[in-house]
Amino acid sequence: MKDAPVIEAMHLHKAFGATVALEDLSLTLRPNEILGLLGVNGAGKTTALNILLGLTTPTRGTLRVFGQELMPNRVDILKRCNFASAYVSLPGNLTVGQNLWTFAQIYGVKNHKAKITELLELLEIPHLRSRVTGQLSAGEATRVQLCKAFLNDPELLLLDEPTASLDPDISDKVRKFVRSRQQAQRTAIIYTSHNMRDIEEVCDRLLFIHKGRVVAEGTPTAVMTLFQQESLEDVFIQIARSEAGDVFGAAKTAK
Amino acid sequence: MNFRIVFALVCRYLFLYTRNWVRLAEVIFWPTMELVTWGFLTRYLEGRMGVAEAGPFTWMLGGVIFWDVMFRSQQGVAISFLEDVWTRNLLNIFVAPVRPIEYLASAFGVGLVRIAITVLILWALSWIFFSFNLLDIGPSLVPFFGSLLLFGWAIGIFATALIMRFGQAAESLAWAVPFLIQPLTAVYYPVSIMPGWLQWIALALPSTHVFEGMRGVMAGAGFSWSHFAWAALLNAVCLLLAGLFYHWTLSTVRARGLLAKVATN
Ligand SMILES: Nc1ncnc2c1ncn2[C@@H]1O[C@H](COP(=O)(O)OP(=O)(O)O)[C@@H](O)[C@H]1O
Ligand SMILES: [Mg+2]
């Protein structure tokens, strides 16, 4: 028997007034699985992540995380989760060490000193500990964020474009770090990115969202085969430029 | 409520102040300027009126210090939140296992630290330069300051909710709220000089009862239990309303997807 799902989202719908950001999103995420969320700008990825984090409430649909309804059990669920995004930062006026200490306290991390040292070393940034966070380069700041994101050994981790604005070398290091840490701890991860290399290397399974609906789902190879394309990049372009109807047709044949 | 989390969130601000002394200047600079202005005015009035009648004017300096307790208390709450908005850290906090009450409690804690610094400095300055000793007010200082703290928190919670709902555009509103209250709450003059209808509004504010009570004590009339009871009752009402407003704003903001917007824009 498979492990109990970490996330079970059924028919999530979100409208902001007249704008429908999510039409119908269902997804299941299991432990030890990295799910990539792909789609053009405005497809609804961030809205989906915000709903999964309890920042936005869906207009319809049900959402269970660790088998519990999210909103009434928010605090208990969030203890077991973490999050990092290219669009969020840690307070720039504190040192890296002070920031990580604060979050270690918030998440109730045991042996936080050793934990922070271990993560900083894995990310190859132990020398940044006493540096002021606001003065770090993008690559350094992202890795500090990832350190925060893994502090509590999360069972569920949501990463919103973690490699945006990173050079290929650091991107590669970040991917390898996420992969190895995830395998060691069986973390379930949802990963959004516009970098197809990221998705191919990191994700076990991917979900293409277009106009608030899932239009394709499967392993990267299966999705490429389904769309008869050589690369995920070509699949992306095909979906982005197709009329919604065509894509939904394709999605049906996938199932 | 988890005190480890509250403690960590308070430490964050203390780290900030130890790293950046300029931030502390704000806690010292404005109240000092205000004290000096009112201090000289008190001197001038004393000179005009003759010392015998002038004693009561020192309550203006009491007004300055008391007002600052309330104002700093309000600001402590709003600034803690804004600090997270400015540093784009708000989402990290909102996706962490932090309850709204823990977040607010840490903001109250920060307010307390700021007030302690301000009051200490104002007390010393007004004593040295204007021979007004705050401690002459005696033990009634405790209920007075307590009431002002609570009312400051209530306004701070209200202002924070406004910023959450309307984004940084509401920032200036958050600064303005205390000054909307200042003329109504009889900081530097007794309620009795206001027109009758305005007196009703003034007396509906918990802080008015503190300022009236303070003037009473300084005039030798003793501690007014009725003013204290009114302040306590009105504070309870204000805190309850502010809490409900905060809670209601949080759900509105979640429905409109504004939390992420305030945090990342
Ligand atoms: N808070 C909001 N209020 C109104 N419309 C929103 C809000 N958030 C997102 N939208 C709209 O919902 C759609 C999906 O946006 P988003 O989830 O950010 O897409 P993505 O992250 O895939 O680029 C867009 O049309 C966007 O304009
Ligand atoms: Mg997005």
The reply to whether A143 falls in a domain is no
Any A CB within 8 A of B259 CB: yes
Contact between B87 and A89 using a beta-carbon 8 Å cutoff: yes
Whether residue A255 is predicted with pLDDT greater than 70 in this model: the reply is no
CB contacts, 8 Å: B251 with chain A: 57
Q: Which of A54, A88, A158 is nearest residue B264 as measured by Cβ atoms?
A: A88
The reply to whether A55 falls in a domain is yes
Contact between B92 and A103 using a beta-carbon 8 Å cutoff: yes
A39 Cβ closer than 6 Å to some ligand 1 atom = yes
Whether residue A253 is predicted with pLDDT greater than 50 in this model: the reply is no
B257 Cβ closer than 6 Å to some ligand 1 atom = yes
Q: For the purposes of burial, counting CB atoms within 10 Å of the CB of B100, is it exposed (0-12), middle (13-18) or buried (19 or more)?
A: middle
Is residue A90 within 8 Å of residue B15, measured between CB atoms? Answer: no
A69's CB contacts (< 8 A; 6+ apart) are A62, A63
Cα(first)–Cα(last) distance of chain A, in Å?
22
Partners of residue A22 on adjacent β-strands? A14
DSSP chain A: -PPPPSEEEEEEEEEETTEEEEEEEEEEE-TT-EEEEE-STTSSHHHHHHHHTTSS--SEEEEEETTEETGGGHHHHHTTEEEEETT----TTSBHHHHHHHHHHHTT-TTHHHHHHHHHHHTT-GGGTTSBGGGS-HHHHHHHHHHHHHTT--SEEEEESTTTT--HHHHHHHHHHHHHHHHHHT-EEEEE-S-HHHHHHH-SEEEEEETTEEEEEE-HHHHHHHTT-SSHHHHHHHHHHS-HHHHHHHHHHH-
Return the structure tokens found at A185. Answer: 């701890």
* Dist. CA A167 → ligand 1 center (Å): 27
Is residue B76 within 8 Å of residue B156, measured between CB atoms? Answer: yes
The reply to whether A105 falls in a domain is no
Ligand nearest to the backbone CA of A43: 1
pLDDT digits (tens, 9 = 90+) for B24-57: 777 788 888 888 888 888 888 877 776 655 466 7
* Dist. CA A165 → ligand 1 center (Å): 21
* Amino acid identity, position B204: A
Maximum CA pair distance of chain B? 63
Q: A51 vs chain B: nearest CA distance in angstroms?
A: 9
pLDDT digits (tens, 9 = 90+) for B50-100: 665 546 677 788 888 899 899 989 988 888 888 888 888 888 999 999 999
How much is the pLDDT for A249? 52
Give the whole-angstrom CA distance, residue A122 versus residue A180.
10
Return the structure tokens found at B11. Answer: 């430490």
A16 Cβ closer than 6 Å to some ligand 1 atom = yes
Q: Which of B4, B88, B95 is nearest residue A53 as measured by Cβ atoms?
A: B95
CB contacts, 8 Å: B82 with chain A: none
Least confident window among B19-23, B178-182, B248-252: B19-23
Give the whole-angstrom CA distance, residue B237 versus residue B248.
16
Domain extent, residue A237, equals 1-80+156-163+188-255
Is residue A144 within 8 Å of residue A134, measured between CB atoms? Answer: no
pTM for this prediction: 0.88
The reply to whether A9 falls in a domain is yes
The Cα angle at residue B135 between residues B131 and B140, in degrees rounded to 5: 140
Q: B111 vs chain A: nearest CA distance in angstroms?
A: 19
- Give the nearest chain B residue to A17 (CA atoms): B256
Q: Residue holding tokens 């009491």?
A: B62
Least confident window among A109-118, A131-140, B56-65, B99-108: B56-65
Reference B175, options B249, B253, B72, B254; nearest CA is B72
User: Considering its fold, how many domains does chain A have in total?
Assistant: 1
Closest residue CA from atom 11 of ligand 1: A21
How much is the pLDDT for A1? 47
The reply to whether A69 falls in a domain is yes
Query: CATH code at A51?
Result: 3.40.50.300
How much is the pLDDT for B50? 67
Give the whole-angstrom CA distance, residue A241 versus residue B140.
73
Give the whole-angstrom CA distance, residue A129 versus residue A117.
9
The reply to whether A45 falls in a domain is yes
Contact between A90 and B89 using a beta-carbon 8 Å cutoff: yes
Confidence grade of residue B264 (pLDDT, cut at 50, 70, 90):
low
* Dist. CA A154 → ligand 1 center (Å): 27
Instruction: Using a pLDDT cut of 70, give the percent of chain A over it.
Output: 94
3-state DSSP of B39-66: HHHHHHHHHHHCHHHHHHHHHHHHHHHH
The reply to whether A232 falls in a domain is yes
The reply to whether A146 falls in a domain is no
Mean pLDDT of all residues belonging to chain B? 87
The arrangement of strands across the sheet holding A188-192 comes to A68-69, A60-65, A7-16, A19-29, A213-218, A205-210, A34-38, A188-192, A156-160, A81-85
Confidence grade of residue A252 (pLDDT, cut at 50, 70, 90):
very low
Is residue A83 within 8 Å of residue A39, measured between CB atoms? Answer: no
Ligand nearest to the backbone CA of A21: 1
A36 Cβ closer than 6 Å to some ligand 1 atom = no
Instruction: Using a pLDDT cut of 90, give the percent of chain A over it.
Output: 67
Whether residue A64 is predicted with pLDDT greater than 90 in this model: the reply is yes
Give the whole-angstrom CA distance, residue B165 versus residue B246.
10
> Quick one: DSSP state of residue B138?
G
Interface of A with B (CB under 8 A): 14, 16, 21, 46-47, 50, 53-57, 75-76, 78-79, 81-83, 85, 87-95, 98, 101-103, 105-108, 132, 148, 158
How much is the pLDDT for B208? 96
pLDDT digits (tens, 9 = 90+) for A210-244: 989 998 999 999 988 888 888 888 888 888 887 65
pLDDT digits (tens, 9 = 90+) for B137-182: 888 889 999 999 999 999 999 999 999 998 877 888 778 888 889 9
A69 Cβ closer than 6 Å to some ligand 1 atom = no
Partners of residue A19 on adjacent β-strands? A16
Which phi and psi angles does A189 have, rounded to 5°? Answer: -130, 140
- A59 to each of A11, A71, A193, B55, how far by Cα in Å? 10, 13, 25, 64
Return the structure tokens found at B69. Answer: 């307790």
Is residue A46 within 8 Å of residue A55, measured between CB atoms? Answer: no
Is residue A154 within 8 Å of residue A81, measured between CB atoms? Answer: yes
Give the whole-angstrom CA distance, residue B182 versus residue A16.
39
Whether residue A26 is predicted with pLDDT greater than 50 in this model: the reply is yes
Instruction: Using a pLDDT cut of 70, give the percent of chain B over it.
Output: 96
Return the structure tokens found at B242. Answer: 């502010």
* Dist. CA B86 → ligand 2 center (Å): 20
* ipTM (interface pTM): 0.88
Q: A113 vs chain B: nearest CA distance in angstroms?
A: 15
